[in-house]
Structure 1
Amino acid sequence: MKLGVFLVLFGGRKLEEALDYVAEKGVKAVEIGTGGNPGKRHCDPQLLLEDERALKEFKHAVESRGLVISALSCHGNPLHPQQELAQKDHEDFLNSVKLAEKLGVPVVNTFSGCPGDHEGAKYPNWPVAPWPNDFQDVLKWQWENKIIPYWTETGAFAAEHGVKIGLELHGGFSVHTPATLLRLRAAAGEVIGANLDPSHMWWQGIDPVQAIHILGREGAIHHFHAKDTVIDPINVNKYGLTDMQTYDNMLDRAWQFRTVGFGHDLKTWADIISALRLVGYDYVVSIEHEDGLMSINEGFSKAVDNLNQVLIQEQLGEMWWL
């Protein structure tokens, strides 16, 4: 496995400066934002696709520092019921796939998106309860008319370009659990897989180790994020796991994101890394830091230090004792 980082964390620095910094920290891979919510601070796919010289310079900037690009990421909502918003995220995704092919990057990460509840809807609708039965009707309409058709077509596009799709299982989007990911994968093909982030499993009440087993046995983990979550044992009883308070209200929230090792101990993270190796995932573990209690540099540095203690980095040899 390689230790990586989602480079949007250092969006306040120029690309070369950010690459220098993470390389000095011992990181071996970078995940780069190419649109959607991560933005295009370090990489605008449309510009690089139109300028071969700029593309070569971009590639050299990464490779000359001994780094690889683990994924391009354009997390957005291509199923947004407002077409102008959906189209923008859709175009970012298509351009990211084209650029990934040129760069030899195997996966593009994004969200599944979440549609509205009818053709004239203005906002996304995320059903999370089976009753009243209206929610079941909404869910059925979304999957049959929006989610499966879109990702079947878009998945075929990615496959034609030799690129896999890593959907982050994130609350608020239609694909947010192992089951919903496998449902879409069964309909749209094996080009669909997870950009698995344990932080979003924990707050949904899902054990990340079990999620790894469920998805890994199907070969459905295309990329992995390293981010932690802590659930407040008092606040969760007041607000529940679907707490709608903003992330900056940390004192009262039911749960909050933490850097690796500050939500769960290193034994838990060792179990996660071991489960990844067990199911055959030996790719990049990409740090995503969204800890409101730590600065960018401190949160990132602590994540690096903690993961280096549990990451399995050497190639698996023969079982000499057999």
Structure 2
Amino acid sequence: MKLGVFTVLFGGKPLEEALDYIASKGLDAVELGTGGYPGNAHCDPDTLLADAGKLRDFKHAIESRGLMISALSCHANPLHPQKALAEPDDAVIRKTIELANRLEVPVVNTFSGCPGDHEGAKYPNWPVAPWPNDYQDILKWQWEEKVIPYWSEIGSLAEAANVKIGLELHGGFSVHSPSTLLRLRDAAGKSIGANLDPSHMWWQGIDPVQAVRILGRAGAIHHFHAKDTSIDPINVNAHGITDMQPYTNMLDRAWQFRTVGFGHDLKTWADIISELRLVGYDYVVSIEHEDGLMSIDEGFSKAVQNLQQVLIREPLGEMWWV
């Protein structure tokens, strides 16, 4: 396995300065935002696709520092019921697939998105209960009319470009759990897989080790994020796991994102890494830092230090003892 970072946290630095800092920490890979929610501070598809020289220089800047690109990420909502919002998100996903093909990057990460509840809807509707039955009707319409048709088309586009799509399982979007990911994969093809982030499993009440096993058995883990979550045992009783308070209201929230090792101990993280190895995932573990209690540098540095202790880097080889 290799250790990387989602560079959006260094968006305030010029690309080469950010790359120097990342390389100085001993990392192997970078994940770059190309638009949507992460922005494109370091990797603008329009600029790079229009100029072969800039594309070549961009690739050299990364590779000359001993780094690789693990994924291009354009998390967005291409299924938003408002066309003025959905169309730019769809466009950036398509451009990012083309750019990934040009750069020989194997994975594009994004969200599945979430539609509204009918053709004239204005806002997304995320059903989370099977009753009243209206929610089942909404869910059926969303998947049959929006989710499956859209991702079937994008999956075919990605496959033709020799690129895999890593959907991040995130609450608020149609694909948010191992079962919803596998449902879409069955319908839209094997180019669709997960960008698995344990932090979103924990707050949904899902054991990330079991999520790795469920998805890994299906060959459906295309990329992996390293981010932690802490659950407040008191506040969760007041607000539940679907706590709608702002992330900034940390003292009262039911859960919050933490850097690796500050929500769950390193034994838990070692179990996750071991399970990834067990199901055959031998790609990049990409740090995502969204810890409201730590600065960018401290949160990132502690994640690096903690993951270096549990990451399994070397090939196993033969079991010499059997």
TM-score w.r.t. structure 1 length? Answer: 1.00
Alignment of 1:105 onto 2:105: yes
Partners of 2:18 and 2:265 lie apart in 1 by 29
Alpha-carbon displacement from aligned partner over 1:102-150 (angstroms, at most 9, x marks no partner)? 1010000000000000000000000000001100000000000000000
Partners of 1:260 and 1:250 lie apart in 2 by 17
Unmatched tracts of structure 2, length 5 or more: none
Partners of 1:320 and 1:264 lie apart in 2 by 33
Alpha-carbon displacement from aligned partner over 1:286-319 (angstroms, at most 9, x marks no partner)? 0000000000000000000000000001112110
After superposition, where does 1:222-237 map in structure 2 within 5 Å? Answer: 222-237=222-237
> Which residue pairs with 1:182 in the alignment?
182
The Cα shift of 1:46 comes to 1.3
Alignment of 1:278 onto 2:274: no
Alignment of 1:240 onto 2:240: yes
After superposition, where does 1:208-227 map in structure 2 within 5 Å? Answer: 208-227=208-227
After superposition, where does 1:108-257 map in structure 2 within 5 Å? Answer: 108-257=108-257
Report sequence identity in percent. 78
TM-score w.r.t. structure 2 length? Answer: 1.00
Partners of 2:114 and 2:170 lie apart in 1 by 11
Unmatched tracts of structure 1, length 5 or more: none
**Residue aligned with 2:78, SS:** coil
Alpha-carbon displacement from aligned partner over 1:77-122 (angstroms, at most 9, x marks no partner)? 0000000111101110001000000101000000000000000000
Partners of 2:215 and 2:55 lie apart in 1 by 34
Partners of 1:226 and 1:155 lie apart in 2 by 25
> Which residue pairs with 1:311 in the alignment?
311
- Code of the aligned partner of 2:160: E
- Code of the aligned partner of 2:136: Q
Partners of 1:158 and 1:106 lie apart in 2 by 10
Partners of 1:128 and 1:22 lie apart in 2 by 39
> Which residue pairs with 1:26 in the alignment?
26
> Which residue pairs with 1:50 in the alignment?
50
> How many correspondences in the alignment?
322
**Residue aligned with 1:31, SS:** strand
> Which residue pairs with 1:320 in the alignment?
320
Partners of 1:163 and 1:317 lie apart in 2 by 29
> Which residue pairs with 1:302 in the alignment?
302
**Residue aligned with 1:274, SS:** helix
- Code of the aligned partner of 2:256: Q
